[in-house]
C-alpha cells in the first residue's frame, strides 16, 4: 500500500514535484481510522493546483526548480544563527541593488 501523498505546489508550480510530502503512512492512517478519523475525502483531487501568486513575466518559469536556487536556500537555512542569516540576506539584497 502506497503512503498518502500530496504534491505541494510552489508559486511557479514547478517546485511541486520536488516537495512530495508524505502526510500519513498507511499504518498510522489505519490506526487513526480505527479511532474514528475519516480520510475518505482526502484524495489527490481535493487539493487545488492553482499558484498562490500569479506568474510574473519577469521571472523565469523554472527559477524555483534550478539547482542553484535550491542550493542557495539549503545553505541559507543551514546557518543556525538567525542574526547571521539576517546579515546574509541584507548583504545579498545590497548586492542585487548594485547590479542595476
Q: Is residue 55 part of a domain?
A: no
Q: Is residue 81 part of a domain?
A: yes
Q: Is residue 91 part of a domain?
A: yes
Measured between alpha carbons, how far is 66 from 60 in angstroms, rounded to an integer? 10
Cβ atoms 75, 92 nearer than 8 A: no
Q: How many structural domains does the chain have?
A: 2
Q: Is residue 52 part of a domain?
A: no
Q: Is residue 45 part of a domain?
A: no
Say yes or no to pLDDT of 89 above 60: yes
Residue 23: domain span: 1-39
Q: If pLDDT is split at 50, 70 and 90, which confidence band does 42 have? A: low
Check residues 97 and 62 and name the one with the higher pLDDT.
Answer: 97
Q: If pLDDT is split at 50, 70 and 90, which confidence band does 15 have? A: very low
Amino acid at each position: 500500500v502506497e503512503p498518502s501523498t500530496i504534491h505541494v505546489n510552489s508559486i511557479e508550480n514547478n517546485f511541486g514535484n520536488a516537495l512530495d510530502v508524505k502526510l500519513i503512512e498507511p499504518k498510522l492512517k489505519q490506526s487513526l481510522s480505527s479511532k474514528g478519523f475519516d480520510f475518505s475525502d482526502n484524495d489527490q483531487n481535493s487539493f487545488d493546483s492553482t499558484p498562490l501568486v500569479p506568474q510574473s513575466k519577469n521571472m523565469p518559469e523554472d527559477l524555483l526548480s534550478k539547482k542553484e536556487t535550491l542550493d542557495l536556500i539549503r545553505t541559507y537555512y543551514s546557518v543556525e544563527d538567525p542574526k547571521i542569516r539576517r546579515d546574509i540576506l541584507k548583504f545579498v539584497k545590497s548586492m542585487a541593488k548594485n547590479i542595476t
